[in-house]
Amino acid sequence: MAPKKEEIVKKKASYGAESIQVLEGLEPVRKRPGMYIGSTGPAGLHHLIWEIFDNSRDEAMNGHANRVEVVLLPDGYVRVVDNGRGIPTGIHPKTKVSALETIMTTLHAGGKFGGDGYNVSGGLHGVGASVVNALSIHTRVEVHHEGAWFMQEYKQGIRKAAVKQMGKTKFNGTIVTFKPDAEIFKEGTEFNWDTVVTHLRQQAYLVKGLTIHVIDARTYEGKVDLEGSLYIFDLGWEQPSQSFYFEGGLKSLVKHYNEFAKPVHKNIFYVEKEAEGVGVEIALQYIDDLSTKIAAFANNIPNPEGGTHITGFKTSLTRLINAYARKNGILKEKDENLTGEDVLEGLTAVVSVKLREIQFEGQTKAKLGSMEAQSATATVFSDAFTLFLEENPDDAKEIINKGLLALRARKAAKAAKDSVLRKGALEGFSLPGKLADCQSSDPSESELFIVEGDSAGGSAKMGRDRRTQAILPLRGKILNVERARLDKMLGSEQIKNLVLAMGAAIGDTFDLNKVRYHKLIIATDADVDGAHIRTLLLTFFFRYYRPILEAGYVYIAQPPLYKITHNKKEYYAYSDEERDNVYKSLGFKLEEIGEVDITETIEDESKEEGDEEEVTTKKPKLPPTQRYKGLGEMNPDELKETTMDPSKRVLKIVSIEAAEEADKVFEMLMGNEVGPRKSFIQTYAKQANLDI
DSSP string, 379-395: HHHHHHHHHHHHH-HHH
- Centre a 10 Å sphere on the Cβ of residue 294 and count the other Cβ atoms it contains: 16
Q: Residues 35 to 74: which contact ligand 1YM by CB under 6 A?
A: 52, 55-56, 59
**Which one of residues 76, 111, 263, 307 is an interface residue with ligand 1YM (CB under 6 A)?**
111
Torsion sign, CA atoms 28, 29, 30, 35: positive
Q: 613's torsion region: left (phi>0), alpha (psi -120 to 50) or beta?
A: beta
Determine the interface stretch with ligand 1YM among 35-43, 85-93, 358-366, 383-391 (rule: CB under 6 A): 85-93
- The nearest distance, CB 245 to ligand 1YM, in angstroms, is 18
Q: Considering beta carbons, is residue 84 or 473 the nearer one to ligand 1YM?
A: 84
- Residues near 582 by beta carbon (within 8 Å), at least 6 away in sequence: 562, 564, 571, 573
Q: 510's torsion region: left (phi>0), alpha (psi -120 to 50) or beta?
A: beta
- Does the protein bind ligand 1YM through residue 88 (CB under 6 A)? yes
- Does the protein bind ligand 1YM through residue 417 (CB under 6 A)? no
Enzyme catalytic residues: 452, 525, 527, 529
Q: Considering beta carbons, is residue 84 or 306 the nearer one to ligand 1YM?
A: 84
Q: Residues 150 to 209: which contact ligand 1YM by CB under 6 A?
A: 174, 176
Going by their DSSP bridges, the two strands 211-216 and 148-155 should be labelled as unpaired
Q: Residues 660 to 679: which contact ligand 1YM by CB under 6 A?
A: none
Determine the interface stretch with ligand 1YM among 79-87, 90-98, 589-597, 615-623 (rule: CB under 6 A): 79-87
Going by their DSSP bridges, the two strands 599-602 and 613-616 should be labelled as antiparallel
Q: Considering beta carbons, is residue 99 or 456 the nearer one to ligand 1YM?
A: 99
Spatial CA neighbour of 64 closest among 215, 174, 176: 174
Helix axes 656-670, 528-544, angle to 10 degrees: 110
Q: Considering beta carbons, is residue 126 or 249 the nearer one to ligand 1YM?
A: 126
- The nearest distance, CB 84 to ligand 1YM, in angstroms, is 4
- Does the protein bind ligand 1YM through residue 125 (CB under 6 A)? yes
- Does the protein bind ligand 1YM through residue 87 (CB under 6 A)? yes
**Which one of residues 50, 113, 286, 572 is an interface residue with ligand 1YM (CB under 6 A)?**
113
H-only helix segments in 436-593:
454-463, 486-489, 493-502, 528-544, 546-550, 576-585, 590-593
User: For 555, phi and psi rounded to 5 degrees?
Assistant: -130, 160
Cβ 153 vs Cβ 161: under 8 Å = yes
Q: Considering beta carbons, is residue 171 or 574 the nearer one to ligand 1YM?
A: 171
- Does the protein bind ligand 1YM through residue 643 (CB under 6 A)? no
Q: Considering beta carbons, is residue 212 or 380 the nearer one to ligand 1YM?
A: 212
- Residues near 264 by beta carbon (within 8 Å), at least 6 away in sequence: 286, 287, 288, 346, 398, 399, 401, 402
- The nearest distance, CB 63 to ligand 1YM, in angstroms, is 11
- Does the protein bind ligand 1YM through residue 80 (CB under 6 A)? yes
**Which one of residues 21, 69, 71, 82 is an interface residue with ligand 1YM (CB under 6 A)?**
82
How many residues of this chain interact with ligand 1YM, rule: CB under 6 A? 23
Q: Considering beta carbons, is residue 300 or 348 the nearer one to ligand 1YM?
A: 300
- Does the protein bind ligand 1YM through residue 103 (CB under 6 A)? yes
- Does the protein bind ligand 1YM through residue 126 (CB under 6 A)? yes
**Which one of residues 33, 76, 110, 312 is an interface residue with ligand 1YM (CB under 6 A)?**
110
Cβ 655 vs Cβ 542: under 8 Å = no
Q: Considering beta carbons, is residue 111 or 424 the nearer one to ligand 1YM?
A: 111
Beta strands in 287-369 (DSSP E): 293-298, 301-302, 347-354
User: For 72, phi and psi rounded to 5 degrees?
Assistant: -85, 120
Please give the residue ranges that form the binding site for ligand 1YM (CB under 6 A): 15, 20, 52, 55-56, 59, 80, 82, 84-88, 99, 103, 110-111, 113-114, 125-126, 174, 176
